[in-house]
């Protein structure tokens, strides 16, 4: 396992990978792996850093870096479902529970989401309460709010500038 700490608009992030895939994204207070940044180049860490940069620039909506999150079969099922939530969209814990055919497992889904080792890459920030309220997030509610605003603002801007009524402005 090797790691790399990168700067981002939401603070320093620690990326952890093996030779084949990205396994963790940790927030500053969660840098659980005190791995020395390797002088050895890692294609996976470089790709993850590049894709995060493109994401924060609004140029990438779907990540392509290989991921290998470690978790139980249930957690894997939840994380696979999270990966289907589109850029700029949100859904509820109940929607996730129903999407994995366990409609009464909302609390277990919430727990699995809270253990997501690859936030942003596996977009758990897009899960909100049934009433639309912002709920827990490993990076903190303020970071969740920033990520959702980042995606929403870009979606709104794209809709405005591609609307036919604005065509004459170009």
**Closest by alpha carbon to 27, among 117, 126, 124?**
117
Catalytic annotation on 159? no
Q: What is the DSSP letter of 34?
A: -
H runs (alpha helix) in the chain: 43-56, 73-82, 93-99, 106-114, 141-162
Distance between CA atoms of 55 and 121, rounded to whole angstroms?
10
**Active-site pick, 91, 98, 124, 159:** 124
Residue with structure tokens 């709010």?
145
The one-character DSSP state at 103 is T
How many Cα atoms sit within 13 Å of 126 on the Cβ side? 22
Q: What are the strands, taking DSSP E only, across 27-154?
A: 91-92, 127-128
- Joined tokens for residue 148: 């959702």
Q: Which of the residues are catalytic?
A: 124
């Amino acid at each position: 396992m090797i790691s790399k700490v990168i700067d981002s608009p939401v603070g320093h992030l620690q990326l952890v990978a093996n030779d084949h895939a990205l396994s963790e994204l940790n927030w500053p207070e969660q840098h659980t792996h005190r791995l020395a940044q390797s002088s050895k180049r890692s294609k996976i860490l470089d790709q993850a850093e590049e894709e995060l940069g493109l994401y924060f620039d609004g140029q990438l909506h779907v990540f392509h870096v290989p991921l290998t999150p470690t978790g139980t079969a249930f957690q894997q099922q939840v994380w696979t479902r999270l990966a289907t939530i589109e850029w700029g969209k949100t859904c509820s814990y109940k929607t996730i529970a129903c999407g994995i055919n366990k409609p009464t497992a909302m609390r277990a889904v919430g727990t699995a989401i809270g253990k997501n080792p690859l936030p942003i890459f596996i977009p758990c920030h897009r899960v909100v309460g049934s009433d639309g309220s912002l709920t827990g997030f490993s990076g903190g509610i303020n970071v969740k709010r920033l990520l959702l605003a980042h995606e929403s603002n870009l979606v709104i801007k794209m809709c405005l500038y591609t609307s036919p009524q604005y065509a004459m402005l170009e």
